[in-house]
């Protein structure tokens, strides 16, 4: 049982990296790491729900990952389908709102149907907002949001772009975690992580446990978040309102 509950950190995103390297270190094919890593997802989702996160967004497959070997790509497709079949009941039981963001048009038809069915079934659930970024690219998301506004004849503003993203309900990301040791954001949620706290761990995804996840949340909860102000602020919106008020005084 997890006693810890989040306070300031509500929206978390994770780049699940290190699967292939973890497998190669053990003289296995890269796909073995993805298979092992897929078993970690359920525990992290459960922990995120237990500590009271509002949203958890997982980077499963990027637009750049299409450059990987065909067998590896197809394995990732199969793992997504397996997750949907295995976790469907638990997602529904825990009132988790499930969504896939990105281009899933090249997934097998049966998997697309499973995704759409679960999205529709859970769209009004009030629990954790769980998003899988699959066939996703941050720049692509922003471009599509702007084109959507232009086509509709709407003014392009920060607020209108935010409303036009793939999943506006997740809001601004408070914490971005990357496993595997690399320290970059890799075109993930570029708009949403503008003021996110960043945490890079050397632990590769297949070895990432819920206890480390909780420890990271506890650590980041202690950070002072100022959002451009000189003292700790409640949110980016609060400092933007203060900045607008102060700007009008000059």
Mean pLDDT by 10 residues, the chain (250 residues): 88 96 93 92 96 97 86 90 95 97 94 97 97 96 98 97 96 97 97 97 98 97 78 63 58
Q: What angle do CA 220, 226, 230 make, to 5 degrees?
A: 140
pLDDT of 53: 98
DSSP class per residue in 1-42: ------SS--EEEEE---HHHHHHTTT--HHHHHHHHHHHHH
**How far apart are alpha carbons 134 and 60 in whole angstroms?**
5
Q: Answer for the pair 134, 58: CB distance below 8 angstroms, yes or no.
A: no
How many whole angstroms from its chain centre is CA 85? 20
Annotated catalytic residues are: 17, 65
pTM (predicted TM-score): 0.90
Across the beta sheet with 55-62, the strand order is: 97-101, 129-136, 55-62, 11-15, 175-178, 197-200
CA-to-CA distance for 193 and 133, rounded, in angstroms?
A: 14
Which residues make Cβ contacts (< 8 Å) with residue 20, sequence separation at least 6?
30, 33, 34, 72
Helical ranges in the chain per DSSP H: 19-24, 30-50, 70-93, 109-122, 138-152, 158-163, 210-221, 236-247
State the pLDDT at residue 65: 87
* From the candidate CATH numbers 3.40.190.10, 3.40.50.2020, 3.40.1180.10, 3.40.710.10, the one assigned to the domain spanning 11-247: 3.40.1180.10
The pLDDT assigned to 246 comes to: 63
Give the per-residue pLDDT at 234. Answer: 64
What pLDDT is attached to residue 230? Answer: 63
With vertex at residue 132, the alpha carbon angle to CA 215 and CA 48, rounded to the nearest 5 degrees, is 25
Q: What are the pLDDT digits (tens) for 141-200?
A: 999 999 999 999 999 999 999 999 999 999 999 999 999 999 999 999 999 999 999 999
Predicted confidence at residue 61, as pLDDT, reads: 87
Q: What is the pLDDT of residue 235?
A: 67
């Amino acid at each position: 049982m997890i006693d810890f509950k989040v306070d300031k950190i509500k929206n978390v995103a994770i780049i699940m990296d290190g699967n292939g390297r973890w497998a190669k270190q053990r003289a296995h094919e890269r796909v073995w790491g993805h298979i092992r890593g897929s078993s970690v997802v359920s525990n992290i989702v459960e922990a995120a729900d237990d500590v009271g996160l509002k949203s958890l967004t997982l980077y499963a497959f990027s637009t750049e990952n299409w450059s990987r070997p065909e067998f590896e790509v197809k394995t990732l497709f199969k793992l997504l389908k397996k997750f949907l079949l295995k976790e469907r009941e638990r997602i529904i039981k825990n009132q988790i709102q499930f969504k896939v963001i990105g281009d899933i048009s090249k997934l097998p038809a049966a998997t697309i149907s499973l995704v759409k069915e679960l999205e529709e079934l859970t769209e009004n659930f009030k629990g954790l907002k769980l998003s899988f970024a699959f066939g996703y690219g941050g720049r692509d998301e922003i471009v599509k949001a702007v084109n959507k506004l232009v086509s509709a004849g709407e003014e392009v503003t920060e607020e209108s772009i935010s409303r036009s993203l793939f999943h506006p309900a997740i809001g601004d990301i408070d914490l971005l975690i990357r496993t595997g040791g690399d320290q970059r954001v890799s075109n993930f949620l570029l708009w949403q992580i503008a003021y996110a706290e960043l945490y890079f761990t050397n632990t590769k995804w297949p070895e990432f446990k819920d206890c480390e996840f909780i420890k990271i949340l506890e650590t980041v909860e202690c950070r002072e978040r100022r959002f451009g102000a000189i003292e700790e602020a409640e949110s980016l919106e609060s400092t933007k309102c203060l900045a607008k008020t102060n700007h009008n005084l000059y």
